[in-house]
Amino acid sequence: MGRRILLLLITNILIITTISIVIGILGLFGINIGGMMSPDGSMNFVALLLFSAAFGFGGALISLAISRWMAKKTMGVKVIDPDQPQSQAEKQVLETVHTMARNAGLTHMPEVGIYNSKEVNAFATGPSKKRSLVAVSSGLLQTMDKTAVEGVIAHEVAHVANGDMITMTLLQGVVNTFVIFFARIVASVVANFVKDETLRMFVRFGAIIVFQILFSILGSIVVMAFSRYREFHADRGGADLAGRDKMTHALQSLKQYSERVDDSHGSVQTLKINGKTSMAMLFSSHPPLEERIRRLQER
């Protein structure tokens, strides 16, 4: 699930930053969006909170809405025609995804795709269970055996069946709300140290953008922690769909080939089942494979 989470985070930050810039520019011209400033120049905290929630959840929902499209474009995913698969590999992946989806009780089959990469990985994304995408890398199909591929796909289908993207979006909306809210409060405090009224407006505008990006990065710690929790849950779901032995074998195979990571898509590394990252654990969307294997075996 990781790469889709990073895509969601990056898109989300860009969206709320763009909204803030537009609103900030309007504010420089005296247009008070959302009534955040009282007539006496003080901050209206109730209006600010409502404004923050509206745009915080709005940014997260927009990110979710375009998540499937963005994944296809970013990764170069070739969507398989369910009526006319072009090869035996496409047919096998399509049949495996559809079998797992039916086992998971999904009423709408996910789109299925393959992206060209030497990495051994897969991902799932989409705004809803009815509009989801499950994609695997060509490297995974070329390297892993059939049993491991089934386990990997079961894990990704479990993400779809669990509605993890919706859950993550709601969490991101809450984080966005507090990011926007506190960024404006802190920016106002900083701007109050500037005596010149005109300069104060520009300082506040710039400070909002800076603190919003900073708080978004800090807020991602919460999002990533929840993502790691959902990975364990998806492992259990994959074990239910494909069998614990297949899911364990898939994780062990991923561990074996974890060094074979394609860096050409580093900007969206965490949408994958095995997102390798050099960042601190706090910012990792996936727990260590060793821990995932241990928990699955103890289940």
Catalytic residue, candidates 150, 156, 259, 290: 156
DSSP 213-279: HHHHHHHHHHHHHHHHHHHHHHHHHHHHHH-HHHHHHHHHHHHHTTT---GGGGGGGGGSTT----S
Helix (H, G, I), strand (E, B) or coil at 21: helix
**156 carries an active-site annotation:** yes
User: Are the C-beta atoms of 117 and 264 separated by less than 8 Å?
Assistant: yes
* Catalytic residue list: 156
